[in-house]
């Protein structure tokens, strides 16, 4: 199982693409994704508005912006419980 936080914003095509990648890997890695809309908080919006989508993993590493599948797979393997 892999737990991660997914920071996103509605109407963000990069976020939609990142979510599709996650959906394709959800079963294999038993993903537990906490989706957080950065629009729900001024703090999160200021923090991530130029970096979304952002995946934050258990080991505190992140992937952001144009996320590459190879990098995502490496982070998933490193964070599998």
Tens-binned pLDDT, residue by residue, of the chain (81 aa)? 999 999 999 999 999 999 999 999 999 999 999 999 999 999 999 999 999 999 999 999 999 999 999 999 999 999 998
Identify the pLDDT of residue 80. 92
Phi, psi of 7 (to 5 degrees): -90, 125
Contact predicate 77/2, CB 8 Å? no
Quick one: which of 17, 51, 65, 15 has its CA closest to 35? 15
Task: Answer whether CATH 2.60.120.20 is correct for domain 2-79.
Answer: no
The predicted model scores a pTM of: 0.93
Name the H helices within 1-81. Answer: 13-29, 42-48, 69-79
Q: C-alpha distances in angstroms, 29 versus 15, 32, 46, 51? A: 20, 9, 31, 24
């Amino acid at each position: 199982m892999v737990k991660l936080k997914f920071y996103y914003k509605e109407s963000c095509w990069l976020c939609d693409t990142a979510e599709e990648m996650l959906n394709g890997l959800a079963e294999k890695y038993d993903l537990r994704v906490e989706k957080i809309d950065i629009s729900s908080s001024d703090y999160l919006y200021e923090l991530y508005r130029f970096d979304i989508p952002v995946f934050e993993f258990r080991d505190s590493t992140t992937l952001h912006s144009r996320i590459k599948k190879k990098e995502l797979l490496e982070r998933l393997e490193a964070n599998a419980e």
